[in-house]
Copies of this chain bind each other. A is one copy, B any other.
Amino acid sequence: MRLRKLVGDRFKERPSDCEFDSHALMVKGGYIKYMANGIFSLYHPMKRITKKIEEIIRQEMDAVGGQEVMFPVVMPGSLWAESGRYESVGDELLRFTDRNDSPMILGMTHEEAAVHLVREYAQSYAKYPFMIYQIQTKFRDEARPRAGLIRVREFTMKDAYSFHTSQEDLEKYYDVVYHAYNRIYQRAGIPEVITVKSDSGMMGGSISHEYMLLTDAGEDSIVLCDECGLKANMEVVENRVENPSTGLETLEKVHTPDCKTIEDVTKYLDSTEETSCKAVVYQKNMTDEYVIVFLRGDYEVNETKLVNLVGDKVHAADITPESGIVAGFIGPYNLNAKAQVIVDVTLKGLDSMVAGANEADYHYKGLNLERDCGITEFADVSKVKEGGVCPVCGKKSLKIRRGIEVGNIFQLGTKYTKTMHMKYADSGNTEKLPIMGCYGIGVGRLAASVCEVSHDDYGPIWPISIAPWQVHLCCLKAKDAACLEATDKLYKELTKAGVEVIYDDRDVRPGVMFADADLLGVPVRVMAGPRNLENGQIEIASRDKSIQKLVSIDNAVDEIKAVIQELFDKINEKVEEPVFAEDFE
């Protein structure tokens, strides 16, 4: 199509409210349009990108025996009540009533719908295994949408659900999907995605993996160990801390006026964060009960670990005078507050420490948890640190990186089949519960993530496999009749040859033209200008600058197609061989 007919504004200035580069580029490149918090419309170029991503996902899901289906966006609350999630999921589940006052919800995931679709069908073992999937709109009422398409409220997602008669069969298929997912990212041009172990959260089940695209802009922390190959989300990595023996000291209460922070105290007492006991106070969401976490001064709480431990979501505490909690001076000795107290493993083995005295302007020195407080049990609710001890190989080799989660796979077990009474008769006619797996990829987030790791200062550098167009054709001097005629002709020939072309035939300066081309990020740029045309030539350059050449106009279509093929080959070199799913076709 012609660029001048493309709906959407492109502009120079970086929008002020964009933290992420991908967010800024999608806004200034005419890809997305903000409508409400976490809700966007997609312009044509982004729709073309997401369509190509969807097609890659569809091909890979079909290749492992998936059957594409479609679940509703709006579902009755009663269906979610069956699994217990109508009650258990927080405000991110959008609940409302229809015209007849029936409770309804907007689907944020579709385990319940999947079970609903197949539970009458799959009553005999002979129907197993099978996998169904959909690519559809979902809504999650996020508290803090951000970063453009990375964390939104409404999004398009591929969600797949497999059903099995044994854990072994699930694991076998889980591995097949694991590799199909690798192929999806490789084909989309981001082979650098890694897989990490993750927390299953509200999905239930035990084993789960996240696909992480490593980038400093990511919102997840990933823990790597080069020694043993550990790769995991920080929230599931056990924190192992070795506290050297420093000898027991005598417990002593000391006056610490105006020392409210850990830095104040260590400075005032000439102690260290490593021998200080820090307190962090939360409240449980359902009951508002206080939760006090004690941990070593130089560590931080991992809230996912904490939530899993206390069995409820938590929020930062609002400390009232009645609570008995003395903010700034909280410690495990002489604590007279009604609260759940959690002592983190980072304090284990510490002979003597500084801690709050639960009295304004006072701390203890020489506190020993076992001797003075009788504490011998420690929980793991802290974040591991760079250089920390790897819980697998025991070496001090942990590395921490940032990443964007671009997919996840879960072994769900029988959580949904049990609560929703889905059963099958095995070969001996005994009633059993099917075992489920589920597998998700957000389409828009994947598009934005590719942009996040593949762009320069001027715009995205789209991989040819998901680029909105393959070729960006520029007529460098539209006022020059011969130049326009030659470029028009090439446009028609390319289109006829099945090449996807965005054609800029505007009468504008080359600078304007190139700025727009950079923003659209089309991988192959073809420039036709009067000077080169005089020599019967046009210029081909790739957006990533790896290719730049002059070719004969007579041979242009073939040359351009060869460059497109070259870019596809570069991507396909990094795509692993497909793994097939026996018993699924």
Chain A, residues 108-122, CB within 8 Å of chain B (1/0): the string is: 000001001110111
A116 in contact with B33 (CB, 8 Å): yes
Write the A52-72 contact mask toward B (1 if CB under 8 angstroms, else 0): 000000000000010111111
Copies per assembly? 2
Residues from chain B with a CB closer than 8 A to the CB of A33 are 116-117
Please give the distance in Å from A66's CB to the nearest CB on chain B: 9
A36 touches B76 (CB 8 A): yes
- Write the nearest CB–CB distance from A433 to chain B, whole angstroms: 18
**Given contacts A7-B130, A42-B69, A44-B68, are A113 and B74 in contact (CB under 8 A)?**
no
A387 to B324, CA, bound (A): 89
- Contact between A73 and B73 (Cβ–Cβ < 8 Å)? yes
Report the separation of the CA atoms of residues A116 and B34 in the bound assembly, to the nearest whole angstrom.
Answer: 9
Q: Which of A28-46 contact B (CB under 8 A)?
A: 30, 33, 35-37, 39-44, 46
- The residue of chain B having its C-beta at the shortest distance from the C-beta of A71 within the complex is B41
Assembly CA distance A132 to B5 (angstroms): 11
Q: Within the assembled complex, what's the spacing in Å between the Cα atoms of A117 and B7?
A: 9
**In the complex where A96-B96, A113-B41, A116-B41 touch, is A8 in contact with B73 (Cβ < 8 A)?**
no
| Additional A-B contacts beyond A7-B69, A33-B116 (10; CB < 8 A) | A2-B585, A5-B585, A7-B132, A35-B76, A46-B70, A70-B156, A92-B99, A96-B96, A99-B141, A136-B137
Contacts A6-B67, A91-B99 given; does A154 touch B43 at CB 8 Å: no
Q: Is A168 an interface residue (CB 8 A)?
A: no
Taking a contact as CB atoms under 8 Å apart, the answer to whether B72 and A39 are in contact is yes
Cβ-defined contact, B5 with A39, below 8 A:
no
* A side interface size, CB within 8 A: 67
Chain A residues within CB distance 8 Å of chain B: 1-2, 5-9, 30, 33, 35-37, 39-44, 46-48, 50-51, 65, 67-76, 79, 91-92, 94, 96-100, 102, 104, 106, 113, 116-118, 120-122, 127, 130, 132, 134, 136-137, 139, 141, 143, 153-154, 156, 584-585
A99 to chain B, nearest CB (A): 4
Say yes or no: A96 contacts B94, CB within 8 Å: yes
Residues in B with CB closer than 8 Å to A8 are 121
A501 to B154 alpha-carbon distance, docked (Å): 36
Q: A113, B47: Cβ atoms under 8 Å?
A: no
Contact of A44 among B69, B76, B139 (CB under 8 A): B69
Residues from chain B with Cβ under 8 Å of A74 in the complex: 39, 94, 106, 139, 153-154
